[in-house]
């Protein structure tokens, strides 16, 4: 990110006063998972400290999205079966959605935003499973990268509300992509805000990179792993916008960077099955991740 742009964004965000934080339980989970000797039971105990998170994790792991043959009744069981990383990613996903729920009556539709983010998460995960040898990222990694890719928009809407609404309205009335309208109005985009916030939350560097480069992935072309994950999210964003699942804040599809699609190594014959699987999985997981949190029927 350009240092001047970054400085401008930071100044605007810090002037608000209180910076956005993740729920305490996620910070505890990150700390506990930093110890290689930690047991599944200990991880389960940390999640249990947040009843809402614990209940949601169990609902999701028992849903059709995972389709395990047997019912999982305890969190430590969920940790053993899914693995530490997957449980951590699930906890992060739920925590982020919980932290930024509905926000009054504004033109920026937050429910449509979360639908879009969740659909990109599911789509990126689906592509990662099908992709060629160049993509070594797991579908769980791709899922959480997809869910967080536009997190900067929510932070702007909640903490820089007036100026973000100005950018949003400009985009709507002048037929611009939201990131173009952000740049024209605020001098920075949700990519810069997303980079700042994911660094603040001490999230893995891969997630920082996908939030800051998903519209400009060629910025990471030299770095193999980072470019692969950014490519997954970039393409998933375009696919989801094409089929109109939720809204990223504008009704358009941004330009596709062909190198990203070429790296993924799939043929266009696979696109229909990606779309089918994305819409199916979105319906399966959306009802658990979004309905209770946003207090409305989403799907």
Partner 1 sequence: MILKLLDDLSEGVTIARPVLVQGRTLLAAGAQLTSKHLKIFKAWGVNEIWIEGEPEKVSNSEPDHQSKEFKIVLEKIDKRFSKCNGNSELISSLKRIAIAREYSIYKKETDDKGESNE
Which positions touch partner 1 (CB under 8 A)?
67, 69, 130, 177, 235, 238-239, 241-244, 251-256, 258, 261, 268-273, 275-277, 280
Q: Measure the CA–CA gap between 226 and 208, rounded to whole angstroms.
A: 10
Q: Which is nearer to partner 1, 169 or 270 (CB)?
A: 270
Q: Which is nearer to partner 1, 168 or 196 (CB)?
A: 168
Minimum gap (Å) between residue 295 Cβ and partner 1 = 25
Cα 165 → chain centroid: 21
Computed on alpha carbons and rounded to an integer, the radius of gyration of the chain in Å comes to: 18
SS3 sequence of 225-290: HHHHHHHHHHHHHHHHHHHCCCCCCCCCCCCCCHHHHHHHCCCHHHHHHHHHHHHHHHHHHHHHHC
Minimum gap (Å) between residue 141 Cβ and partner 1 = 18
Minimum gap (Å) between residue 43 Cβ and partner 1 = 22
Q: Kindly write down the DSSP assignment for every residue of 132-157, as one continuous string.
A: -TT----HHHHHHHHHHTTHHHHHHH
Q: Measure the CA–CA gap between 116 and 245, rounded to whole angstroms.
A: 6
Q: Which is nearer to partner 1, 235 or 290 (CB)?
A: 235
Minimum gap (Å) between residue 130 Cβ and partner 1 = 7
Q: Measure the CA–CA gap between 186 and 23, rounded to whole angstroms.
A: 28
Minimum gap (Å) between residue 15 Cβ and partner 1 = 32
What is the C-alpha end-to-end distance of the chain, expressed in Å? Answer: 36
Q: Which is nearer to partner 1, 32 or 184 (CB)?
A: 184
Minimum gap (Å) between residue 86 Cβ and partner 1 = 13
Minimum gap (Å) between residue 184 Cβ and partner 1 = 15
Q: Which is nearer to partner 1, 68 or 103 (CB)?
A: 68
Q: Which is nearer to partner 1, 69 or 104 (CB)?
A: 69
The tokens of 86 are what?
A: 């997957």
Q: Which is nearer to partner 1, 155 or 260 (CB)?
A: 260
Neighbours of 52 (CB within 10 A): 14
């Amino acid at each position: 990110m350009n240092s001047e742009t970054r400085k401008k964004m930071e100044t605007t965000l810090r002037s608000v006063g209180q910076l956005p934080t993740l729920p305490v339980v996620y910070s505890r989970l990150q700390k506990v998972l930093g110890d290689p000797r930690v047991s599944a039971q200990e991880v389960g105990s940390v999640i249990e400290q947040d009843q809402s998170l614990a209940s949601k994790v169990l609902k999701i792991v028992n849903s059709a999205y995972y389709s395990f043959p047997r019912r999982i009744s305890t969190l430590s069981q969920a940790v053993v079966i899914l693995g530490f990383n997957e449980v951590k990613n699930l906890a992060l996903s739920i925590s982020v959605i919980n932290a930024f729920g509905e926000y009054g009556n504004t033109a920026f539709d937050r429910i449509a935003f979360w639908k879009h983010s969740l659909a990109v998460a599911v789509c990126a995960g689906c592509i990662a499973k099908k992709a060629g040898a160049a993509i070594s990222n797991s579908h769980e990694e791709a899922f959480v990268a997809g869910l967080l890719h536009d997190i900067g928009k929510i932070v702007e809407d909640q903490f820089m509300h007036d100026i973000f609404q100005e950018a949003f309205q400009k985009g709507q009335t002048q037929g611009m992509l939201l990131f173009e309208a952000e740049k024209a109005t605020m001098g920075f985009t949700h990519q810069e805000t997303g980079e700042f916030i994911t660094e603040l939350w001490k999230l893995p560097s891969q997630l920082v990179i996908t939030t800051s480069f998903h519209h400009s992935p060629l910025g990471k072309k030299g770095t193999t792993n980072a470019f692969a994950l950014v490519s997954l999210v970039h393409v998933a964003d375009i696919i989801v916008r094409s089929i109109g699942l939720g809204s990223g804040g504008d009704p358009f599809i941004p330009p596709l960077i062909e190198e990203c699609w070429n790296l993924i190594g799939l043929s266009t014959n696979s696109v229909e099955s990606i779309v089918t699987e994305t819409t199916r999985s979105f319906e399966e997981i959306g009802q658990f991740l979004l309905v209770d949190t946003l207090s409305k029927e989403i799907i």
